[in-house]
Amino acid sequence: MCTVQEYTYLIFPMSKVLDRLNTFYHSLKNMKAIRVHKFGGPEVLKYETDVSIPKFGSSDILVNVKAVGINPVETYIRAGTYARKPQLPFTPGNDCAGIVEEVGSNVTDFKKGDRVYTTQTLTGAYAEFTISPSNKVHILHSGLSFAQGAALSTPYLTAYRALFIRGAGKPGETVLVHGASGGVGVAAVQFARSCGMLVLGTAGTPEGIEIVKKAGAHFAFNHRSTDYLEDIKKAIKEKAIDVIVENASHINLGKDLTLLAKGGRVAVVGSRGQVEINPRDTMAREASISGVMLSNSSEKEFKESYAAIWGGKEAGWLRPIIGKEFTLENACQAHADIISGGGALGKTVLTVS
């Protein structure tokens, strides 16, 4: 004699059961989310309370979002100036942390209630619920808060790629992290310090300098000071720098090249415009400039990066520093602050109730 549940599974294939479950969640309630209906300034980020909860596929995970990491690239996408434009309307964001609400029928590595963070979403992270492919979901270490989990994905993956994969950083070398008080900068400082590099970091405010020191830099400098390049040289006794992780190449790249050692490398993480350089500064040094684009990572490189993040937390040195926190409905204010704020002070996040 079949139970009702057993009888249901006999009548309906698993895909049908999954469809019914999705329909249930879809009809249960709507969710709050940020929606973009046209490209433009921060004001186009619209807080809506009646957005349908997205439906997930057999290899996907439905995440109940608790915190969202905001990245500068999302401001470019929102403005319509990024190389790839999403179809309108859309919900921004890929980096979030939360609790697994449901999993697809083919998902075996996660279960309802798991604390996780995402490195990609299919439906956008600026929302109460999001859908993520199961291979882009990762267990959140018990020692990290949801806000810290939301600060992991893009910043730490980008920092690892810039420092080790593109910048080829090695123990014993000297690294300069330009813009070290933001999410990527803090991550780069922590990675570099953990592997035995001499770490220099810059920020634009006294508060930023304190964050750079807190992240673990041996030396911290104010890059708005007219003499900061000379201060760097004095601090390291006129030694040259092996690797520069550059978050503002439109301002600093020309200066960076004059600081490099023979065989030195600049990993360009961010730029908001053009810059003039003197190629001769690369010639005698045989220096190189490498662009960094996280989406170009291979699966092998991603796996390596994820392992480094987990290992860093287990060892105790990986500590995302959270700066300003905004509620979901104030996402437009958060975007405005990232672009026109007085300087990065840790990772900016949205909190989702």
Same domain, 31 and 105: yes
CA distance linking residue 177 with residue 32, whole number of Å: 37
251-267: average pLDDT: 95
Q: Does residue 306 fall inside a structural domain?
A: no
Q: What is the pLDDT, as a whole number, of residue 4? A: 44
Q: Does residue 136 fall inside a structural domain?
A: yes
For the chain, the domain total comes to 2
CA distance linking residue 153 with residue 93, whole number of Å: 11
Other C-beta atoms lying within 10 Å of the C-beta of residue 222: 18
Q: Does residue 314 fall inside a structural domain?
A: no
Same domain, 341 and 214: no
Question: Can you give the residue range of the structural domain that contains 265?
Answer: 154-296
Q: What is the pLDDT, as a whole number, of residue 54? A: 93
CATH number at residue 327: 3.90.180.10
Same domain, 58 and 170: no
Q: Does residue 316 fall inside a structural domain?
A: no
Q: Does residue 303 fall inside a structural domain?
A: no
232-238: long-range contacts, CB 8 A cutoff, minimum separation 24: 232/176, 232/200, 232/259, 233/259, 235/200, 236/174, 236/198, 236/200
Q: Is the pLDDT at 7 greater than 50, yes or no? A: no
Same domain, 36 and 167: no
142-153: average pLDDT: 96
pLDDT digits (tens, 9 = 90+) for 85-114: 999 999 999 999 999 999 999 999 999 999
CA distance linking residue 195 with residue 329, whole number of Å: 40
CA distance linking residue 55 with residue 15, whole number of Å: 13
CA distance linking residue 184 with residue 296, whole number of Å: 17
Q: Is the pLDDT at 160 greater than 70, yes or no? A: yes
Same domain, 49 and 124: yes
CB 45 within 8 A of CB 331: yes
CATH number at residue 255: 3.40.50.720
Same domain, 83 and 93: yes
Q: Is the pLDDT at 311 greater than 80, yes or no? A: yes
Same domain, 47 and 107: yes
